[in-house]
Amino acid sequence: MSPESNMFVMIALTIISAATPLVYAAIGELVVEKSGVLNLGVEGMMLAGAVSGFAVAHVSGSAMLGVLAGVFAGMLLALIFAFLTLGLRASQVATGLALTIFGIGLSALMGQALIGIAYEGIPSLNIPYLSDIPVLGPLLFQHDLLVYGSFALVIAVSYFLKYTRAGLIVRAIGDSPEAAHALGYPVLRVRYLATLFGGACAGLSGCYLSMAYAPMWVESMSAGRGWIALALVVFATWQPGRLLFGAYLFGGITILQLHAQAIGINVPSQLMSMLPYVATIIVLVLISRDRGRIRKNAPASIGQAFHPTK
Amino acid sequence: MIRLEARAEPSKLMGFAAPVIALLVTLFAGLILFALLGVPVGKAFYAFFIEPLSSTYGLSELGVKAAPLIMIAVALSIGYRANVWNIGAEGQLILGGICGGAVALYFYEVEKWYVLPLMTLAGILGGMFWAAIPALLRTRFNANEILTSLMLTYIAALLLSLLVHGPLRDPDGFNFPESRLFHAAATLPIIFEGTRLHIGALVALLLVVVGWVLLSRTLLGFALKVNGQAPRAGAYAGFTQNRLIWFSLLFCGAAAGCAGLFEVAGPIGQLLPNISPGYGFTAIIVAFLGRLHPVGVVFAGLVMALSYLGGESAQISLNLPVAVTGVFQGMLLFFLLAADVLINYRVVWGRRGTAGRGASL
């Protein structure tokens, strides 16, 4: 392989690994928001998933069990959120913030003993012949299963929301819970399920960070990715396809800092680290300034509590 | 079966009782957590809640920690009443520290009375500038202030790190990422000799009074409350949403910036890569725990300050990780939000319809 194509493959691979956790976290939150719930606790759920996944994988030696534990941890935190906001009708904004603060603290507490432990990472796919093709092999056939899973999940969610009856019900509940309730659809149950799905996805996203991207446990290792995922949902105007594009765009921006020095750009590392956050703000502004488009695409009842007895 | 039944009117009593209930439940849950971690419960309780309060120095430290929390939370309460969700106070605090600290370093060789006022002004302006960005983006471009203000917090932290690793680093500091120590004219006067309690504590109390007058005695405060509870009614009354957004954010930026300057000119005394143990985030909990009321915020600020001190003391005497503090704070907010349901609903045992009066469900 020539050095150029070698470099190209390396950059492409780092973009994919930087984008994958964003894809998981954002696609989960997209479904949550489609059902009319705004869960600002993505960051907390990610960290809970990251620490649980890493811990279980380290103790059991099984990546599969680790991922399951991470998903479970994300769902557990999402359940707290759902109980407070859907069961007790607490403010979604305040509860989401509480979830993030709690998740950061809890994961730091649980992860005390895990700091500095090395982990070999989730095993990558190795298909005879296919994985060995130059350039295309490493690009398409040498990832771990979570990378392929993220694409499958986006396609599945897109299909679910667009073409299935259940997806239509989720959207209806997000747009007009009163009407959906009047038609006999279980608004709260659907919102519970959507919120749990979001928790599972955030947990998966955290698993990817601690078990494949890093792979190790560092306190607060998500570094704002949960919030960037929230911004990505707005950026995508609640459409899964655009979300995938957005996640890869941000993945590209994130890895600039890794390759800037290799290319010979000599900028302080802090400035490069600012890029994803600056980009998030810029992207939010560009999308949000078009109020009409936001109003057309945003779930109409997002963030509002629903009182089924009314 | 347990179920919730709407009250005819929100319960005033429960408005006061909910934070107390939440605190007690958090305490209980915390003791269970300690037991699960294998820590002797009695010893943990002592380290967390009694030891920090059993000396004059401990009490003064409570004031040191509570001052920034109260300052920021008073300002946040005002914004939250108007549904302006600024969660980037931490970033505004950092900017205040950077700008005020930069002034102190600029006047490194000038030990005059005017240095500290200039620093304070710079800190306030720095915080306001950082808060003006989400205000502009929200009012001009409709961008969600929750996300923008939080992103700016990450940027502020990186900016501080950049500066103390570079231009503001102590030239005689062997390349450590620290600034020079501020001289006496650039540090805050101490209230009690031998402690770290600085005049920031008095400023915090002053801000409480300002916040209370603003909210309960001025038209602006009324407009903030109306727009928070019923934006349409506010619009009919002629209260411009944009002006309230600007005011809420700038006020909070000023308070947080000032708090940040007080940290670097008070307990820290120089610029470091990390100047706050998350005061800007904890202040969010303080604001809610204090019922978004300036007076309530004082009590809540003291409670949360104790959670920091308790965390430090438990770290020293029991070797518990500092992260316990974060778990406590998150749990407290959860329990508070759960207890708040009692304000608008009563808990009824029994089946629907057999509950007697008020069963209008």
Give the tens place of pLDDT for each residue, B73-118: 999 999 999 989 999 999 999 999 999 999 999 998 888 899 999 9
The shortest C-alpha distance from B240 to chain A (Å) reads: 18
Instruction: Identify the pLDDT of residue B1.
Output: 62
Mean pLDDT of B239-252: 92
End-to-end CA distance of chain A: 67
End-to-end CA distance of chain B: 15
Confidence of residue B359 (pLDDT cuts 50, 70, 90): very low
Confidence of residue B273 (pLDDT cuts 50, 70, 90): very high
Instruction: Identify the pLDDT of residue B232.
Output: 82
Cα–Cα distance for residue pair A224/A281, rounded to 1 Å: 13
Q: Give how far the C-alpha of residue B302 lies from the chain's centroid of Cα atoms, to the nearest Å.
A: 11
Residue of B nearest to A110 (CA): B323
Q: Using one digit for the tens of pLDDT, what is the confidence trace for B248-270?
A: 999 999 999 999 999 999 999 99
A231 touches chain B (CB under 8 A): yes
Nearest to B147 among A219, A280, A291 (CB): A280
| List of chain A residues whose C-beta atoms are within 8 Å of the C-beta of residue B165 | 268, 270
Lowest mean pLDDT among A72-81, A150-159, B103-112: B103-112
Does B26 score more than 70 pLDDT? yes
H helices present in chain B, as ranges: 12-36, 41-45, 56-81, 89-106, 115-141, 145-165, 200-217, 219-229, 231-236, 241-263, 279-289, 294-318, 323-339, 341-344
Interface test with A, best of B4, B140, B142 (most A CBs within 10 A): B142
A285 touches chain B (CB under 8 A): yes
Closest CA to A89 of B230, B343, B23: B343
Q: Give how far the C-alpha of residue A52 lies from the chain's centroid of Cα atoms, to the nearest Å.
A: 16
Q: What are the distances in angstroms from CA A209 to CA A154, A217, B307?
A: 18, 9, 30
- Taking CB atoms and an 8 Å limit, are A89 and B341 in contact across chains? yes
Angle subtended at Cα A187 by Cα B147 and Cα A233, rounded to the nearest 5 degrees: 25
Cα–Cα distance for residue pair A166/A196, rounded to 1 Å: 16
Cα–Cα distance for residue pair A133/B276, rounded to 1 Å: 51
- Taking CB atoms and an 8 Å limit, are B151 and A294 in contact across chains? no
| List of chain B residues whose C-beta atoms are within 8 Å of the C-beta of residue A296 | none
The 8-class DSSP code of residue B188 comes to P
Instruction: Identify the pLDDT of residue B357.
Output: 43
A98 touches chain B (CB under 8 A): yes
Instruction: Identify the pLDDT of residue A11.
Output: 84
A89 touches chain B (CB under 8 A): yes
Instruction: Identify the pLDDT of residue A81.
Output: 96
Does B354 score more than 50 pLDDT? no
Nearest to B330 among A91, A98, A271 (CB): A98
Residue of A nearest to B85 (CA): A93
Q: Give how far the C-alpha of residue B350 lies from the chain's centroid of Cα atoms, to the nearest Å.
A: 41
H helices present in chain A, as ranges: 3-34, 42-60, 63-82, 92-110, 136-140, 145-163, 165-175, 177-182, 187-208, 225-235, 240-263, 269-288, 291-297
Instruction: Identify the pLDDT of residue B360.
Output: 38
Does B234 score more than 60 pLDDT? yes
- Taking CB atoms and an 8 Å limit, are B144 and A284 in contact across chains? yes
Residue of B nearest to A109 (CA): B323
Query: Under DSSP, is residue A131 helix (H, G, I), strand (E, B) or coil?
Result: helix
B145 touches chain A (CB under 8 A): no
Cα–Cα distance for residue pair A302/A306, rounded to 1 Å: 10
Residue of B nearest to A89 (CA): B341
What six digits make up the tokens of A238? 């609640």
Nearest to A289 among B85, B141, B148 (CB): B141
Cα–Cα distance for residue pair A106/A51, rounded to 1 Å: 9
What six digits make up the tokens of B235? 């619009």
A267 touches chain B (CB under 8 A): no
- Taking CB atoms and an 8 Å limit, are B162 and A271 in contact across chains? yes
What six digits make up the tokens of A178? 């009163």
- Taking CB atoms and an 8 Å limit, are B87 and A271 in contact across chains? no
| ipTM here | 0.89
Those of residues 39-78 in B touching chain A at CB distance below 8 A are none
Mean pLDDT of B37-57: 86
What six digits make up the tokens of A86? 């859907």
The 8-class DSSP code of residue B49 comes to I
Nearest to A278 among B155, B333, B341 (CB): B155
| List of chain B residues whose C-beta atoms are within 8 Å of the C-beta of residue A112 | 321, 323
Cα–Cα distance for residue pair B32/B49, rounded to 1 Å: 15
A115 touches chain B (CB under 8 A): no
Does A41 score more than 90 pLDDT? yes
- Taking CB atoms and an 8 Å limit, are B326 and A102 in contact across chains? yes
Instruction: Identify the pLDDT of residue B361.
Output: 38
- Taking CB atoms and an 8 Å limit, are A94 and B337 in contact across chains? yes
Instruction: Identify the pLDDT of residue B352.
Output: 56
- For B146, counting Cβ atoms within 10 Å of its Cβ (0-12 exposed, 13-18 middle, 19+ buried), the class is buried
B34 touches chain A (CB under 8 A): no
Instruction: Identify the pLDDT of residue B259.
Output: 97
B348 touches chain A (CB under 8 A): no
- Taking CB atoms and an 8 Å limit, are A102 and B333 in contact across chains? yes
Superfamily classification of domain A3-122+144-297: ABC transporter involved in vitamin B12 uptake, BtuC (1.10.3470.10)
Cα–Cα distance for residue pair B266/B156, rounded to 1 Å: 20
Segment holding B346, helix H or strand E: strand B345-349
The shortest C-alpha distance from A294 to chain B (Å) reads: 10
Q: So where are chain B's domains?
A: 57-345
In the numeric block, the tokens 């607060």 are attached to A220
What six digits make up the tokens of B295? 């007076």
Q: Using one digit for the tens of pLDDT, what is the confidence trace for A208-229?
A: 999 988 888 998 898 899 999 9
Cα–Cα distance for residue pair B243/B210, rounded to 1 Å: 19
- Taking CB atoms and an 8 Å limit, are B143 and A285 in contact across chains? yes
Cα–Cα distance for residue pair B265/B185, rounded to 1 Å: 10
- How many beta-carbon pairs under 8 angstroms link A with B? 138
Q: What are the distances in angstroms from CA B182 to CA B102, B123, B160, B175, B344?
A: 10, 15, 17, 18, 52
Does A309 score more than 70 pLDDT? no
- Taking CB atoms and an 8 Å limit, are A88 and B341 in contact across chains? yes
- Taking CB atoms and an 8 Å limit, are A109 and B154 in contact across chains? no
In the numeric block, the tokens 């057309």 are attached to A296
Confidence of residue B126 (pLDDT cuts 50, 70, 90): very high
Q: Give how far the C-alpha of residue B217 lies from the chain's centroid of Cα atoms, to the nearest Å.
A: 23
Mean pLDDT of B114-128: 96
Confidence of residue B356 (pLDDT cuts 50, 70, 90): very low
The shortest C-alpha distance from A63 to chain B (Å) reads: 26
Please, what sign has the CA dihedral across residues A273, A279, A280, A281?
Answer: positive
Phi, psi of A302 (to 5 degrees): -60, 135
What six digits make up the tokens of A258? 């890794």
- Taking CB atoms and an 8 Å limit, are B141 and A223 in contact across chains? no
Mean pLDDT of A91-106: 91
Please, what sign has the CA dihedral across residues B86, B90, B93, B97?
Answer: negative
More confident residue, B351 or B216: B216
- Taking CB atoms and an 8 Å limit, are A90 and B152 in contact across chains? no
Class of domain B57-345: mainly alpha
Mean pLDDT of A46-68: 93
Residue of B nearest to A231 (CA): B147
Whether the pTM exceeds 0.80: the reply is yes
Does A204 score more than 60 pLDDT? yes
Does A27 score more than 50 pLDDT? yes
What six digits make up the tokens of A266? 């000599």
Interface test with A, best of B141, B164, B318, B345 (most A CBs within 10 A): B141
Question: Which residue type occupies A101?
Answer: I
